[in-house]
Amino acid sequence: MRLALILGCLALAACGTISRGSRVPAYIVQAGDTLYSIAWRYGMDYRTLASWNDLENPDVILIGQRILLTDPASAERSSRAAMPPAQAAPAEPAPPAERASASSADAGQGAAVPSPQPGRRVAVPGPAVPPRTPAAPEPAAAPRPSPAPGATAASQWQWPTQGPVISEFGSSEAIASGIGIGGQAGQSINAAAAGHVVYAGSGLNRYGQLVIIKHDDTFLSAYGYNDRLLVDQGDDVRQGQKIAEMGFGPERTARLHFEIRRNGVPVNPAQFLSTP
């Protein structure tokens, strides 16, 4: 009876682990979302999200789909580590007959070992084998140097519009992950480099009408505060192509919010753009 109770408790503990593992932070896909816009929203690399969610094609997600925002394997390990260790069941006392046999066996320890009966093989311990000396570890491979900024297919960037920089990268005056370029409402916003439009819409708060362009497996660029978008998700664009018209940013100031992200991390566009 007690054994059945213990097994039942262990089964409930296992169910609790699975339940806690299901509470991994996640985002529910809304209409207009893309994996790229979700990654942009949370400052992540879209390839990381694709890996965590077993997405073979990052361009295909469904409304209502649950996108994990952390490594499910790490969350499962953390959940298991938080579980209290299972308590071992106390040993039941042995019946009197068994106790008597055990006492007799203990009393007989240290006595001479009886001779083997004829025809019975006895294992004879062999000589002690010295422990093997572990092989010296191989030297770790030297890390590969990181590529120089912009040393990709998107190495030649051009300014996305004409105007002065009115908010610097990292400035608290606006979105710190990019720069603000001033101008006139309605003026042309152009692709800084050739690429593929992976988002076009207004679903990201603070960005207004936004375009995100994927240039290669490393770089994406974004163009926010637009008044009108001239491209759709899925379009291929060439460098310098007009993709939008300038709108108004904070304090109703005509401006473009421009970002470049490398492997999901915002970088200062000034290091890629020549003096306008």
Count how many domains the chain has. 2
β-strand partners of 27:
67
Burial bucket for residue 32 (CB in 10 Å: 0-12, 13-18, 19+): middle
Pick the last residue of a domain from 82, 110, 127: 82
Predicted confidence at residue 184, as pLDDT, reads 97
Q: What is the signed CA dihedral for 194, 196, 201, 205, rounded to 10 degrees?
A: -80
pLDDT of residue 243: 98
Cα–Cα dist 222/211, whole Å:
6
Final residue belonging to a domain, choices 43, 66, 82: 82
Residues 75 and 171 in one domain: no
Which segments of 149-271 are extended strands (E)? 165-167, 179-182, 188-190, 195-201, 209-214, 219-229, 236-237, 242-248, 254-262, 265-267
> CA nearest 189: which of 152, 160, 220, 166?
160
Give pLDDT tens digits for 41-85. Answer: 999 999 999 999 999 999 999 999 999 999 988 766 665 655 555
- pTM of the predicted protein model: 0.65
Q: Residue 24's pLDDT is what?
A: 75
CATH code (residue 47): 3.10.350.10
Per-chain mean pLDDT for the chain: 76
- Would you say residue 261 lies in a domain? yes
The reported pLDDT for the residue numbered 276 is 62
Question: Is the same domain home to 171 and 264?
Answer: yes
**Residue 14's pLDDT is what?**
34
Q: 199-223 as b/e, with b when 16 or more CB fall inside 10 Å? A: bbbebbeebebbbbbbbeebbbbbb
Q: Which amino acid is at 109?
A: Q
- Establish if 87 belongs to a structural domain: no
Which pLDDT value is given to residue 142? 37
- Rg over alpha carbons for the chain, rounded to the nearest Å, is 33
Domain CATH for 182? 2.70.70.10
Instruction: Give the residues of the chain that fall short of pLDDT 70.
Output: 1-23, 75-155, 173, 275-276
Q: Looking at residue 154, what is its pLDDT?
A: 56
Final residue of a structural domain among 61, 82, 103: 82
Q: Which domain holds residue 23?
A: 2-82
